């Protein structure tokens, strides 16, 4: 999918997870380092948190530490309580370490993305399959 569609897909997934997005930060380029800005309301403690997301759809290269650091700067600019960085690929170890420093960043790589799509049934239709037992074999 195109980068624009991947961003829309990522916002749709997080929307299913409880984030309500505004129109801020959804331009294709010059987005200030974010691809979505919204609010997450925690129903357990009635707290609203500012959330920003960054999406990177790559063919081969992993997301590296400088991209996480740039995202941290964007999070500070938008005064986000936390950020979510989503990629269809993977994160380097240095990127994972950088995400644990400073403001909290949740990292979602390609494998986690698949698990979340299945869990929230985002743009998929579950199919039930039956497998015949040995009873139905041709042997008598």
pLDDT of residue 44: 78
- CB neighbours (10 Å) of residue 84? 24
Res 45: pLDDT: 72
pLDDT at 26: 59
The whole-number pLDDT of residue 27 equals 55
Range of the domain at 101: 3-136
CATH number of the structural domain spanning residue 108:
3.40.1350.10
With vertex at residue 35, the alpha carbon angle to CA 126 and CA 27, rounded to the nearest 5 degrees, is: 115
> 10-residue block means of pLDDT along the chain (140 residues)?
93 94 65 84 82 92 95 93 96 96 92 96 94 84
Q: Whole-model pTM?
A: 0.85
pLDDT of the residue at 59: 85
Name which of 70, 38, 64 is nearest 53 in CA terms: 38
Query: Residue 46: what pLDDT?
Result: 76
What total number of domains does the chain contain?
1
């Amino acid at each position: 999918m195109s980068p624009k569609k991947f961003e829309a897909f990522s916002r749709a997934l997080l929307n299913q997870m409880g984030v309500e997005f505004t129109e801020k930060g959804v331009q294709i380029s010059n987005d200030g380092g974010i691809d979505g800005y919204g609010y997450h309301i925690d129903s357990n403690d009635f707290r609203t948190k500012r959330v920003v997301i960054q999406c990177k759809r790559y063919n081969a290269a992993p997301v590296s530490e400088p991209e996480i650091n740039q995202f941290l700067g964007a999070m500070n600019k938008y005064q986000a309580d936390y950020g979510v960085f989503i990629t269809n690929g993977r994160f380097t170890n240095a990127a994972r370490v950088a995400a644990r420093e400073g403001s909290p960043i949740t990292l979602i790589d390609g494998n986690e993305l698949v698990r979340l799509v299945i869990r929230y049934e985002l743009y998929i239709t579950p199919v039930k399959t039956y497998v015949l037992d040995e009873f139905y074999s041709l042997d008598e």
